[in-house]
Amino acid sequence: MAEIKACIFDMDGVLVSTEIYHFKAWKRLTETVLGFSIDEKFNENLKGVSRAVCVDLILQHAGLQKTPEEKAELAAQKNKWFLEYVQTEITPANVYPGVIEFLNVLKQSGIKTAIGSASKNAPLLVEKLGIKQYFDAVVDGNMITKAKPNPEVFLKGAELIGVSPCDCVVFEDAKSGVEAAKNANMHCIGVGSPAVLTNADFCISSFTEMSLERLKSVLI
Ligand code: B16
Ligand code: MG
């Protein structure tokens, strides 16, 4: 019988409010370099997806074609701006409300924890936020080759902490991430709107709503 032995957390948009800076950097790139704009609805498609795939989705959206070298330049420019926002605006205060308290509850209950993020900047952010000690493993975009909705990032997390996928609960804010969790045969609690994260087992709007009882209700 399945039980909950581990929680795997996406990072951007789940643990910390960095998703807005990814959006600001992509929007700045499309407006200043590519000559069009993207809105928040389109941005839902970019959440949880690797940087290179985001470039492809944006170009496809605008009907533009670029060489591999040009795509790499676009990705590098977006990352430069993202890192500028992170350096000037992100502090431990950007960890979402209730996150640290819930991580402490998990630790006291003997439930293992991991981060499963598509971001190559995850190690830098984890360091800047001072949250490394709360996790048994961190899987980031440098350690995987297949973007969400491929389950690789979460399966690697489960493997590193030695827990079967069916005993893991993933917390995700992105449609692609919810699909990745389901493709990994894991439970998934959406962080955000149930209208967007339609395949999540259930959704919360904040970790202040979470408790051990609420976590266990994912098995029902
Ligand atoms: P980077 P997550 C994802 O992080 C973000 O949701 C997504 O917006 C971003 O494009 C992706 O990381 C790649 O990030 O450019 O920093 O490598 O939500 O999986 O923690
Ligand atoms: Mg995310």
Measure 48 CA to ligand 1 centroid, in angstroms: 5
The domain locations on the chain are: 6-16+92-219, 19-89
pLDDT tens, residue by residue, 33-90: 999 999 999 999 999 999 999 999 999 999 999 999 999 999 999 999 999 999 999 9
Q: Do the Cβ atoms of 96 and 207 come closer than 8 Å?
A: yes
Measure 71 CA to ligand 1 centroid, in angstroms: 17
The per-residue pLDDT for 1 is: 61
pLDDT tens, residue by residue, 112-149: 999 999 999 999 999 999 999 999 999 999 999 999 99
The per-residue pLDDT for 62 is: 96
Ligand 1 pocket: which of 94, 96, 117, 153 to mutate (most atoms <8 Å of CB)?
117
Q: Which fold has domain 19-89?
A: DNA polymerase; domain 1 (1.10.150)
Establish whether residue 58 lines the binding site of ligand 1, counting it when its CB lies within 6 angstroms of any ligand atom. Answer: no
> What is the CATH code of the structural domain delimited by 6-16+92-219?
3.40.50.1000
Establish whether residue 149 lines the binding site of ligand 1, counting it when its CB lies within 6 angstroms of any ligand atom. Answer: no
Band (pLDDT 50/70/90 cuts) for residue 193 is very high
Considering only CA atoms, which residue is closest to atom 14 of ligand 1?
119
Which helix (H) or strand (E) is 81 found in, with range? helix 68-89
Mean pLDDT, the chain, rounded, equals 97
Establish whether 12 is a catalytic residue.
yes
158-167 mean pLDDT: 98
* pLDDT > 90: percent of the chain: 98
Ligand nearest to the CA of 171: 2
Interior angle at CA 211, CA 207 and CA 215, nearest 5? 95
